[in-house]
Structure 1
């Protein structure tokens, strides 16, 4: 059913004049008349009778009007839900347990008036998320293009915040009793991070990390999700993994998993936010300022090489009106 025809019908019924409906829609009276005639043919009934004063609803038209108004209202709400500037601020995160989502939730709790829509684009290639920013499907994405030369000209990437990593182990692991660890103390231990996609930003991060500290990062096997990984850690005497200090995980109390900080130096993953260069969603301003107020990393910190690259503006007001 043509929603433009339904809208024309509703306006003609409310005004009682085809010309007034046409003026409201910005089309000709003939266009409105053709739309309504097509709608009547589709429904198999007459909706109006013509009078000297305009048009009047038939009994079928009266029965149809309330439903037609609902159709128009639903269409208008659907359009508003996806139109930039009128819909909620839509931000892509890697997962709802990640530091990105946790930081956004903290911001929303402090600013509950913010109309925020947190989504997850199921794509391992960050360029697919960047395309979603370019097309307006999302207003921003927490992804990283590690080579600035590959960043499209119509988007910008800013350094959002750095996420310190912790070692997560079960109670049987030889490092389980440690209160803190240095990267050197991780040498020789199996760090299992299943599902690292080749040539992804995470693959590059772990390549640099293992080269810097001579660590054993094992990406073997399929990724069956966080719950399966936690199950394995709880039972294993030698398995460990790395998690962000802000990442949110939950496991049964009897697992007795331990999150152990890494220091001297700390190991951190730099989290970036990609957004349009021109006319970004105004709601991003407050969120970017929130990043600047997060606690800085204490002491010496190791970051991958791309964290030092001038990939975008660090001005929270840059390009945001």
Structure 2
């Protein structure tokens, strides 16, 4: 059934004149008449009778009107749900306690009227996330593709920010009393990072980190969630893990866990934003401006090789992708 014919019928019924309905719909009176006539033929009933004052609904037209209104309203809601600028900005983050979510929350607090929908795609393969951005399932994603050359033409990746890592240990760990640590001091200590998924960006990150600094990074066993990891650290004298400085973790006071910065160089996880190259959601302009205002990490910083090579776009020039 032609939704434009339904819209013409509803408006004509509401204003009582085909000419007035045509003016509001931005078409000719003849076009409205043809649409309604086609609708009547499809339904096999008369919807209007003509009078000296315009048109009046028949009994069939009166019965049909509430259903037609419902269909037109549903179509308008469906279009609004996917039209950039008329719906909430939908951004994917790795987790709701991750550094990306924290930065987005800071942005939202600075602009409390922003209509923002923060989601978590339960996928590890960045190519799946790229496909979701390309299809419009999300407007952007805080993920990275380690080889930007494989990105489709309609998708770009811009640098978001670099997240410094900290060592998280329990009170019985040999490094628990340190105020800061250097990468060489982490050698020979077991760093447990469960949940490193094959083909994920963080799998490549930890591979390079372990190789460059001769670290013992252990991903053995399934990841039963943050609480199990925190409980293990609290009870262990030889297990540590790495967390982002902005990542939010909450543990009982008697766990007495310690977050220790790593410096000289600072070990940083590079975070990128994947978004459409053409017609991105207008709300992304403010997010990208906010990302560009974040302070750079001081001193020497280690980043994986794929984050130190030129990438398509960055937070400084990504605004050129916006209308």
TM-score relative to the length of structure 1: 0.86
Instruction: Supply the distance in 2 between the matched residues of 1:247 and 1:279 (Cα, whole angstroms).
Output: 31
Deviation at 1:137, TM superposition (A): 2.2
Matched, 1:32 2:36: yes
Q: Which residue of 2 aligns with 1:317?
A: 319
User: Quick one: distance in 2 between partners of 1:92 and 1:15?
Assistant: 44
Give the CA deviation at 1:47. 9.0
Q: Deviations over 1:239-292 (max 9, x none)?
A: 211110011122222222211111111100011112222222232222222222
Residues 130-279 of structure 1 aligned to structure 2 (within 5 Å) = 130-279=130-279
Return the alpha-carbon distance in structure 2 between the equivalents of residues 98 and 239 of structure 1. Answer: 22
256-265 or 46-55: bigger deviation: 46-55
- Structure 1 segment 93-132 matched on structure 2, within 5 A: 93-132=93-132
Provide closer, same or farther for how the CA distance between residues 66 and 227 of structure 1 changes in structure 2, counting only shifts above 3 A: farther
Change (3 A) 1:227 1:3: farther
- What SS does structure 1 have at the residue aligned with 2:133? helix
- Alpha-carbon distance in structure 2 between the residues aligned to 1:65 and 1:153: 46
Count of residue pairs the alignment pairs up: 315
Match of 1:54 in 2: 55
* CA distance in structure 1 between the aligned counterparts of 2:273 and 2:114, rounded to whole angstroms: 18
What is the TM-score of this pair, normalised by structure 2? 0.85
Secondary structure of 2:254's counterpart equals helix
**Cα distance per residue 1:10-54 (max 9 Å; x no partner):** 334213457866783966645434546766x8xxxx895635453
Q: Deviation of residue 167 (structure 1)?
A: 0.9
CA 1:32–1:145 in 2, change beyond 3 Å: closer, same or farther?
A: same
- Measure the CA separation in 2 of the matches of 1:229 and 1:297: 28
Runs of at least 5 residues in structure 2 that lack an aligned partner in the other structure: none
- Deviation of the 1:194 alpha carbon: 1.2
Mapped contact 1:19–1:29 kept (Cα < 8 A): no
Deviation at 1:3, TM superposition (A): 6.7
Query: SS where residue 76 of structure 1 aligns?
Result: helix
Report the CA distance shift for 1:231/1:78 in structure 2 as closer, same or farther (over 3 A): farther
8 Å Cα contact 2:85/2:283 also seen in 1: no
Pair 1:74–1:256, CA change in 2 (3 A): farther
SS at match of 2:237: coil
1:181 aligns to what SS in structure 2? coil
Instruction: Give me the whole-angstrom Cα distance separating, in 1, the residues matched to 2:78 and 2:153.
Output: 31
Moved more, 248-257 or 66-75: 66-75
- Separation in structure 2 between the aligned mates of residue 3 and residue 220 of structure 1, nearest angstrom: 57
Deviation at 1:9, TM superposition (A): 4.9
Superposed CA deviations along residues 65-107 of structure 1, whole A, max 9, x for unmatched, are 5676455435423421221232222221111111111111111
- CA contact 2:84–2:280 (8 Å) conserved in 1: no
